[in-house]
Amino acid sequence: MSAGGVDAPLGVFDSGLGGLTVVRALREILPDERIVYLGDTARVPYGTKGAATVIKYALACARHLVARDVKALVVACNTVSAVAPERLRVELDLPVLGVVEPGARAAVAASGTGRIGVLATAGTIASGAYSRAVAQVSTRAEVIGQAAPLLVPLAEEGWTDGDVPRLVVRRYIEPLAAARVDVVVLGCTHYPLLRGVIEEEARARIGPTVTVIDSARSVAADVMDFLASRGMRRRAPPTGAAVKLLVTDMPRTFRETAARFLGDSVGEVEQIDL
C-alpha cells in the first residue's frame, strides 16, 4: 500500500468525536486540503482499553483510510499516538503523524521552568508517551501527568461552561498547581472544547502566566510543515465537500454533535463496518 498523490485527501482518525478538533485546526491552516475523517464510534472510548486492543483498532481504522487512497494518516487520538504509531508505520506504506510529539515540542518551547503538566486520558497517562516525547526534546524538562477522564463526556455532551465543568476541571488542575507546572498540555483531542474553562482555572490555580497548549493546533502545524517539506500540499481549493465523515456507529448522533466540534455545518455522515 502506498500514499496517494498531492491531490489525494488526508486521512484522519480517532476513536470518536474528539479528533474533529484536529480536523477543524487542519481546515484553518490548510484550507485547500481534502480530509477523510473516521470516528470509530462503535468502540469508543480507546482511553480505557489496553495497548494491544488499541493497536488492533487503530490498524483497522488506518487500513480503511489507506484503501480510500489517502496521502498521509493523521492519528487524531492521543491514546493511539501513545501506543500505536510505530506499528502503523511498519504495517502501512505511507506517512503517519501523531498528536503527542507536536504537543510535547510546543510544551518544551513554552516552558520556562521545565515543569510540564499534561491533562489526558488514563490510557495516555499510563503509557508515559508524553514523558518520552518531552525527554527527546529536552532532558531537563519533567512531565507531571494528570488523568482527566470526565472531560471527554463533558465535551461530547456540550457541557463546556458553567459550574459542572468548572468544578471538574478545578479538581484536575489542583494537582498540577501543587506540582508548580508552568505549562498545561491538552493531551486529549476532546479537551480543546473546554479550553476556555481550563485556561481560567489554570490561571486562577497556577498563575496568570501559565500556558495552555492545544495539541490539535500543534499537530495541524506539524502536518502543514510535513506536507510542505515533501511537496505534498494541495494548491487549489477542493471541489465538492472538503471533509468526508465516516463512523462505525450512530451516524445521526455523530452528525448532530460534530457541528459543535467543527464550528460549522456538517453534511452527510457515512456509516462503515470495520
pLDDT tens digits in sequence order for the chain, 274 residues long? 445 689 999 999 998 888 999 999 999 999 999 999 999 999 988 878 888 999 999 999 999 999 999 999 999 998 898 889 889 999 998 999 999 999 999 999 999 999 999 999 888 898 899 999 999 999 999 999 999 999 988 988 889 999 999 999 999 999 999 999 999 999 998 898 899 999 999 999 999 999 999 988 999 999 999 999 999 999 888 887 789 999 999 999 899 888 888 877 788 999 999 9
Asked if 93 and 106 sit in the same domain, the reply is no
| DSSP SS3 for 272 | coil
- Domain-embedded: residue 23: yes
- Domain-embedded: residue 167: yes
Model pTM score: 0.89
- Domain-embedded: residue 5: no
Which three three-digit cell numbers place residue 112? 520556562
Q: Report the alpha-carbon distance of residue 49 to residue 37 in Å, rounded.
A: 22
Is 77 annotated as catalytic? yes
- pLDDT value, residue 240: 76
Asked if 55 and 191 sit in the same domain, the reply is no
- Domain-embedded: residue 56: yes
- Domain-embedded: residue 188: yes
- pLDDT value, residue 3: 59
Q: Report the alpha-carbon distance of residue 172 to residue 128 in Å, rounded.
A: 18
Is 61 annotated as catalytic? no
- pLDDT value, residue 191: 92
- Domain-embedded: residue 1: no
- pLDDT value, residue 4: 66
Q: How many CB atoms lie within 10 A of CB 2?
A: 9
Q: Catalytic residue among 3, 188, 216, 269, which?
A: 188
Q: What is the CATH number of the domain that holds 173?
A: 3.40.50.1860
**Which residue range(s) make up the domain with 75?**
10-98+217-271
Asked if 178 and 236 sit in the same domain, the reply is no
Asked if 53 and 74 sit in the same domain, the reply is yes
Residues 235-269, buried b or exposed e (16+ Cβ, 10 A)?
Answer: eeeeeeebbbbbbbbbbeebbebbebbbeeebeeb
Q: Catalytic residue among 20, 23, 25, 77, which?
A: 77
- Give ∠ CA 264-268-272 in degrees, rounded to 5: 125
- pLDDT value, residue 28: 94
